[in-house]
Every structure is written in C-alpha cells, then in structure tokens.
Amino acid sequence: MKKRKWTTFDIVLTVFMLFIIVITLYPFLNILAISLNNAVDTARGGIHIWPREFTFANYQEIFGSNDRLFKAFLMSILRTVIGTIAGIVASTMLAYVLSRRDFVFNGFVGFLLVLTMFVSGGLIPEYMLIRQLGLINDFGVYIWPMLISAFNVIIIRSFMDNLPAALEESAKMDGANDFTIFSRIIIPLCLPVIATIALFLAVMQWNSWFDTYLYARNNEALTTLQFELMKILDNANVSSGDITSQNAAVIAGQTNPQSIKMAITIIATVPILLVYPFLQKYFVTGLTLGAVKS
Amino acid sequence: MSRINQAAEAQQNSSESPSSMPTVKPSFPSHKGKKRGPSPEKKGFFKRLSKQKALLLMSLPFVIWLIVFKYIPVAGWIMAFQDYKPQFGIFEQEWAGLKHFRDLFNEPMFYRALENTLGMGILGLVFGTLSAIAFALLLNEVRFLTLKKWTQTISYLPHFVSWVIVANIVITMLSPEGIMNNLLVGTGILDRPINFMAKPDMFWGIVTAADVWKETGWNAIIYLAAMAGVDPQLYEAAKVDGASRWRQMWHITLPSIRPVIIVLLILNIGNLINIGFEKQMLLGNNIVAEKALVIDLYALDYGIGMFRYSFGTAIGIFKSVISVILILICNGFAKRIGEGRVF
C-alpha cells in the first residue's frame, strides 16, 4: 500500500480510536487499582488506575482466609473444564454424524438440531424439566443443559466438510469402522475448529451465574465465582447510595465486600484476557463462518 | 449467533458482491457440501442401516438429549392451559383453558413489564445497531494498521466478560465516587455527585449505554467483514471523481453493506422482546424496580418465585408469539421493498 499524506480526517480518526481504547480499558484498570488498594483508603475515593495504599489483602481474603470464595473459584474452574470437554466431545461427535451425508438418519437428526435454533420452551418449562430430572442442587445442572449448541455443531460440521474425503475412504478400505475413523482421523484434523469451539464453551461456562442462581443456590458446594460476585452486587445494590452502611462495613476491618468484589472481578476477568486475543483469528473467521476462502 | 450466519449468507446472495469476498458456507437446510461415502440412493434402507450401526450409536445419545432438553420443554407449553400442580403428572392436571392468558392480560404489572421490555429493546436495537455500524465504518477508514488491529482487539474484550462483571463495572463507574461523577463535577456540569443507579428515569439509558459499551466491538465484526468485501475499484473511481472520504463512506461503503444491515435488523427486531433479563436483574435495585421489571423477570418472579407455573408458561408463550409476529412483519416488509430477506 503506498504512503498517503495524513489528513485532518486521519488525525481525528486516530484520536477517536484512542478514545475508544481508553473508555474500554479504563474501567478494568480502575477496578484493578481498587482491588490492590487498601479497602479503608478506597472509601475516600479518588482511585483511578494506580493504587494509593498498595495491598494484597483483598486477594488474600479470597485465596486464603475465606474458604467459601476459594471453593467458588475451584468450582468455576471445575465446571469450565468438565463442561468444555463434555461439550467438545458431544458437538464433534454429532457434527461428524451430520457430516456423513450417507447416514440414513442424517436429515432427521439435522432437522431436530436446527429447529432448536428457532423454538424454545422458555424459562418455566425448562425449570420444570430440570426439577423433574432431579438436577436441582446437582453438579449435573452445569453440564447437561448446555451440552450441545446447534451453532457450534454447524461450525464444526462445515469445517469437516472441507476435509479431504480421500483419507476417510482409504481408512474405510482398511476396514476401519465409523467410530475409528471419527476418533483416529477426523478429530486430529479438526483441532483448529475444536480450539475455537472450546473457547466459546469455556467462556460460556466460566461466565455462567444464572444456573447457579436458579438451580443450585441452596447447595453451598456448587457456588461459583460469578455467583459470589452476583451476590455481593445484589447486596450492595439494595443499599445503593446508602453511604453510611458502606462506612460501617469499612470500619469493621481492613477489607470489605466492596473491595473483595473488585478482586473477584479481576480474578474472573484475567483468564478471559489471557485466552481471547490468541484465538481472535479463529473466532473472527468462525463468525463469518466456515473459513474464509477466495 | 445464528443471525450472523444468516446475515453473511444474505451478503453472499446480494448481487453486487464481488468474487473476492469471503464466501460463507450455507447453513443446514440448504447444504451443498460434498458427499461422503457412496451415493445414498443406491442401496436399500436396511442394508445401509446395518452398515451404519456405529453412526447410529454415535447419534442416538444426542437425539435423546435433543428431545429431552429441547423438545420436552416445548411440550411443556401444555402447562399454560392447565392449572399445573407439580405433585401430579402432566396428564392428571385440571384443564384451565385460556384462563392464564386472560389473567395475564388483566394484570397491570404485565403491561409495565411489556413497556419496559419494548422500551429497552428498542433503545438497544437503535443504539446498538447505529454504534456498531458507525464504529465499523470509522475503523474501516483507519490507515494505520497497528492502531486498527489493537482497537479492534480491545473492543471485543467486554463481549467476553460476563454481565455480572459488566454490571459491577457500570455500578462502580456511576457511583457517587466514580469516574463519571468526578468528571461531571470536575468540569462543572454538575454541582454535586448524583447517584445514577438510584434514578429510575435513567435506568433505560444506563442499560442501553452498558449494552453499547459491551457489544459494539463484537457486533461490528460482521459489518467489517462485509466492508472488506467491497470492490476497491469503486473507491478508486470515486477518488478520480474527487469524492472525499466522508462521501466515499456514505455513497460506497454504506450502500455496499446495506443487505447485511437489513438482514441483521430483521433478525434483531424479531428478538426485540427477547432481550433477556440479565442486565436488568444485575443493574436493577429496589429503587428503580419499576423501570427494571422486564417480561422475563416478571415470568421468573411470578412463575417460579410464586409457584404460578402455568401463568409463567403463558408469559413464555406470549413472548414466542410476539416474536414470530414481529419477524414475519419485518420479513414481509423487507420483501415488499425488494431487499434481502431472511426466509
């Protein structure tokens, strides 16, 4: 591309983009600074992107003294890991079956899947179903209802469609059955798309809080980081604007729910921050679906 | 996310798209992918079936899953026409006819929930669409590629964090000690800090702003992809004619992505009533409750909170019906004005 002169337009545009970057990042930096600042000091206000009285007390509270928060952290990881693996296994297997146009029930299974993108029973019938299945206050409620998403299956299937058919044919000649072809040949070839879907699934699992709220709030062992954060938010919200009650909490100790809230926010954000930029090129093409070809 | 897929397809179908554009695989119902294995017509059904035992076994668990988790809840709509009591089986319930729907339409709270849902839905649709298109248009004009890449990468970040985190961010930024009040008081616009989260009249605006902050970067992806497919010759020709960058954006870029904009609009209008409840539930509080109550929260409170399962189901059915009507109207309208339509 040949060099052009920088016009006023370019300068205004650059300033605008820098402005976008600032308003996107500032809140995260602000919360990071508050989470690293002494809770009593924070209440005085005026913390921007740099802590005034540096401390790790809020993080120590989560990872050390507060048993429930640490367990919530582990549970968030557990549901993310298991949910992602289960989701990947299910989606790839279903995608493979659907990529086999010669499968006798291909049309039927495909129809059942695609229709779910348009019809849904709604909140109450789903709640009743989970109840009847006995998944209330059970770890399974984090895994089963979210096992398959039609969108993910379609992305994987369209990737499989672009794989060379010859490999599969030759394996068939050697007498491999369909499951062997799937696990030995198709899966290794699909690793790029599997990475993308794994990102989607992991983010979804990591960010979930409503299923805990609705189905598992009475089981302390199943609480997650997001749900703990939501609870603090909920409590703070009720007294929103009630400065005196906040001060009372501040006087009580070195740290307070407000500062812990910031630390949880950071802990819940960091894994996403670490993962998404590297997978960016996958999900961008994933969105414009099925790989960009010219 | 399926709507993005469909939008991309519509773009592909639009006649003026040049061949260099990213091509998009068609979605399920119209697949044209290459066939694997022998042509299906040649052998008998049972003969083929016996050879496909492995495939059958691999698909069976998922067929069961789909039926249990996706179709049984749809069958659960029957609850709306019964006086559902959980201790009895679904066939032992008393029938109630349309009673729950009548109750629903006689409930003043329902109309408030509907108003809030449509209010925030329309605001979100208008500002969400405008901000995404504007951001994509401007980003598309950035010549300094490093800046372009970094801005785009950073703009996605809020999409990937949960609403719980975004709600915390919004509440922190808008608190009396937060940056927003600091700025407004510092520049003299306000005399003293105001508690934004305790102002019912501001709630819709706050939700919309939070939504724009979170999703603009992500929603711009599809528009940027469409812009990447615009024929560069058009810009060259415009430059020869002396068109400014603004005029190029207005007369070339925007019209080129019009099919994508229309399809996304139709799909989003269909979802106007399905705005969910996460934002409202997390950002709302007792003080602004009257402005934060949306249909899903209403269904949650009444249906599950008060054990009125049948009533809650009726709300869900009402939502689905409205959504189908909206999408049919928009689709018909788009067809009339001769634009790319969805179905």
Burial B82-92 (b: 16+ CB within 10 A, else e): bbbeeeeeeee
pLDDT digits (tens, 9 = 90+) for A61-90: 888 777 888 999 999 999 999 999 999 999
pLDDT digits (tens, 9 = 90+) for B51-74: 888 899 999 999 999 999 999 999
Give the model's confidence band at A30: pLDDT under 50 very low, under 70 low, under 90 confident, else very high: very high
Give the model's confidence band at B43: pLDDT under 50 very low, under 70 low, under 90 confident, else very high: low
Instruction: Decide if pLDDT at B22 tops 50.
Output: no
Instruction: Decide if pLDDT at A239 tops 70.
Output: no
- Give the pLDDT confidence score for residue B53 in this predicted structure: 86
B44 close to A (CB below 8 A): no
**Cβ pair A125:B313 closer than 8 A:** yes
- Give the pLDDT confidence score for residue A208 in this predicted structure: 95
Amino acid at B325: I
Residue B163 contacts residue A265 (beta carbons within 8 Å): no
Instruction: Decide if pLDDT at A289 tops 60.
Output: no
Helix or strand (DSSP H, E) at A220: none
B190 close to A (CB below 8 A): no
- Give the pLDDT confidence score for residue A84 in this predicted structure: 96
Instruction: Decide if pLDDT at B37 tops 80.
Output: no
- Give the pLDDT confidence score for residue A11 in this predicted structure: 92
Mean pLDDT of B137-154: 92
Choose among B109, B136, B102: nearest CA to B218: B136
ipTM: 0.87
Report the range out of A152-156, B18-22, B25-29 with the highest average pLDDT.
Answer: A152-156
Mean pLDDT score across all residues of chain B = 85
**Cβ pair B222:A110 closer than 8 A:** no
Determine the Cα–Cα distance for residues B164 and A209; give it in Å rounded to an integer. 8
- Give the pLDDT confidence score for residue A120 in this predicted structure: 85
Residues linked to residue B94 through DSSP beta bridges, in sequence order: B83
Mean pLDDT score across all residues of chain A = 85
- Give the pLDDT confidence score for residue B333 in this predicted structure: 81
- Give the pLDDT confidence score for residue A242 in this predicted structure: 38
* SS3 labels along chain B: CHHHHHHHHHHHHCCCCCCCCCCCCCCHHHCCCCCCCCCHHHCCHHHHHHHCHHHHHHHHHHHHHHHHHHHHHHHHHHHHHEECCCCCCCCCCEECCCHHHHHHHCCHHHHHHHHHHHHHHHHHHHHHHHHHHHHHHHHHHCCCHHHHHHHHHHHHHHHHCCHHHHHHHHHHHHCCCCHHHHHHHHCCCCCCCCCHHHCHHHHHHHHHHHHHHHHHHHHHHHHHHHHHCCCHHHHHHHHHCCCCHHHHHHHHHHHHCHHHHHHHHHHHHHCCCCCCCHHHHHHCCHHHHHHHCCHHHHHHHHHHHCCCHHHHHHHHHHHHHHHHHHHHHHHHHHHHCCCCCCC
Interface of B with A in 228-267 (CB under 8 A): 245-246
pLDDT digits (tens, 9 = 90+) for B149-190: 999 999 989 999 999 999 999 999 998 888 999 899 999 888
Instruction: Decide if pLDDT at B40 tops 60.
Output: no
Q: Which long-range contacts (CB under 8 A, 24 or more apart) does B86-95 make?
A: B86/A128, B86/A131, B86/B309
B22 close to A (CB below 8 A): yes
pLDDT digits (tens, 9 = 90+) for B217-275: 999 988 998 898 899 999 999 989 988 888 999 999 999 999 889 888 888 888 888 88
Instruction: Decide if pLDDT at B148 tops 70.
Output: yes
According to DSSP, residue A159 is labeled H
Interface of B with A in 321-340 (CB under 8 A): none
Instruction: Decide if pLDDT at A4 tops 70.
Output: no
Which residue of A26, A289, A292, A293 to mutate against B (max B Cβ within 10 Å)?
A: A289
Length of chain B: 343
**Cβ pair A90:B169 closer than 8 A:** no
Instruction: Decide if pLDDT at B21 tops 70.
Output: no
B24 close to A (CB below 8 A): yes
- Give the pLDDT confidence score for residue B342 in this predicted structure: 54
Instruction: Decide if pLDDT at B26 tops 60.
Output: no
A23 close to B (CB below 8 A): yes
**Cβ pair B165:A109 closer than 8 A:** no
**Cβ pair B74:A125 closer than 8 A:** yes
Give the model's confidence band at A283: pLDDT under 50 very low, under 70 low, under 90 confident, else very high: low
